[in-house]
Amino acid sequence: MTLRRLPLALVLALVAVSCSILPPDLARELAPTQTQYTTLQAAYQIIIDKHVDKPTSKQLIPGTLDGVEKWLQSQNVASAPVVERPDLTGSEWSDFAKLSASLDAVLSRYSTVKKDLLERAATDSMARSMNECHTYYLDPDRAKTFNKPPSPVSGIGVTINQAEPQQPIEVIDVIANTPAERAGVKKGDKIIKVNGDDVTKLTTSEVADRVRGPEGSQVTIVFDRDGTQVELTITRARFVSPLTESRPEGGGDIAYVRIKQLISSVTDDAVQALRKLQGARGVILDLRDDPGGELSVAVDVGSLFVKTGPLVYQTGRDGNKNPIDVNPRRYLGLNTPLVVLVNKNSASGSEIIAAGVRSSGAGTVMGTRTAGCVGSGQPRDLPDGGLLLVTLTKMQDAKTGEDLNGPGKGVLPDQSVEDDTKTPNVDEAIQAAVAYLHSHV
pLDDT at site 145: 79
Query: Are 130 and 53 contacting, i.e. CB atoms less than 8 angstroms apart?
Result: yes
Residues 249/221, Cβ–Cβ less than 8 Å: no
Q: Which runs of E-coded beta strand occur in 253-326?
A: 254-259, 282-286, 310-315, 321-325
Claim to verify: residue 65 and residue 204 sit in the same structural domain: no
Select from 186, 212, 235 the last residue of a domain. 235
Beta bridge partners of 233: 220
Q: DSSP letter at 97? A: H
Residue 150 falls within a domain, yes or no?
Answer: no
- DSSP summary character for residue 293: B
State whether 172 and 36 are in the same domain: no
How far apart CA 135 and CA 51 sit, in angstroms, is: 9
Residue 81's domain comprises 17-130
**Neighbouring C-beta atoms of residue 277, cutoff 10 Å:** 19
Q: How far apart are CA 106 and CA 368, in angstroms?
A: 43
Beta bridge partners, 229, equal 224
Asked whether 251 and 318 are in contact (CB, 8 A), the reply is no
Does residue 383 form part of some domain? no
- Among residues 235, 256, 277, the one where a domain terminates is 235
For residues 169 and 204, the answer to whether their CB atoms sit within 8 Å is yes
Identify whether residues 327 and 267 lie together within a single domain. Answer: yes
Asked which of 214, 235, 256 is the last residue of a domain, the reply is: 235
Determine, yes or no, domain membership for 2: no
The distance from CA 188 to its chain's CA centroid, rounded to whole angstroms, is: 18
Q: CATH number, domain at 226? A: 2.30.42.10
If asked whether residues 197 and 303 sit together in one domain, one would say: no
pLDDT at site 5: 40
Pick the closest to residue 259 from 284, 282, 281 (CA basis).
Answer: 284
Question: How far apart are the C-alpha atoms of 170 and 223, rounded to whole Å?
Answer: 9
What pLDDT is attached to residue 395? Answer: 96
Of 223, 228, 214, the C-alpha closest to 156 is 214
What number of residues does the chain have? 441
Which residues pair with residue 391 across a beta bridge? 377
Q: What are phi and psi of 431, to 5 degrees?
A: -60, -45
Do 195 and 333 sit in the same domain of this protein? no
Asked if residue 142 is part of any domain, the answer here is no
Does residue 402 sit in the same domain as residue 276? yes
Residues 413 and 321 in one domain: yes
Mean pLDDT for each consecutive 10-residue tract of the chain (441 residues)? 37 32 42 82 97 96 97 90 96 96 97 97 97 93 77 81 81 90 95 96 90 94 96 92 90 95 93 92 96 94 97 96 97 96 96 98 98 92 96 96 94 93 83 96 81
Same domain, 267 and 300: yes
Measured at the CA of 347, the angle between CA 344 and CA 353, to 5 degrees, comes to 110
Say if residue 108 is in the same domain as residue 185: no
Same domain, 201 and 341: no
User: CA-to-CA distance for 318 and 129, rounded, in angstroms?
Assistant: 22
> What's residue 30's pLDDT?
44
Residue 151 inside a domain? The answer is: no
Q: Are 143 and 387 in contact (CB under 8 A)?
A: yes
Q: Tell me the residue type at 304.
A: L
Residue 159 vs residues 155, 173, 269, 288, 420: alpha-carbon distances, Å: 11, 5, 20, 12, 20
Q: Which residues contact 68 (CB under 8 A, 6 or more apart)?
A: 83, 103, 106, 118, 121, 122, 125
* Within-domain flag for 186: yes
Q: Which of 299, 244, 306 is nearest to 270 (CA)?
A: 244
Closest CA to 328 of 353, 305, 354, 362: 305
Residue 303 has what pLDDT? Answer: 98
Cβ-contact 236, 212 below 8 angstroms: yes
> Which CATH number goes with the domain that contains 417?
3.90.226.10
Three-class secondary structure of residue 395 per DSSP: strand
Phi, psi (5° rounding) for residue 396? -125, 150
Evaluate whether residue 258 is within a structural domain. yes
Instruction: Give pLDDT, residue 102.
Output: 98
Q: Is residue 305 part of a domain?
A: yes
Domain identity same for 364 and 434: yes
CA distance 382 to 40: 9
Pairing of strands 364-367, 415-416: parallel
**421/313 same-domain check:** yes
* SS3 of residue 414 by DSSP: coil
The C-alpha atoms of residue 277 and residue 240 are separated, in whole angstroms, by 24
Domain count, the chain: 3
Of the candidates 417, 395, 391, 392, the one whose C-alpha atom is nearest the C-alpha of residue 404 is 395
User: Quick check: helix, strand or coil at residue 4?
Assistant: coil
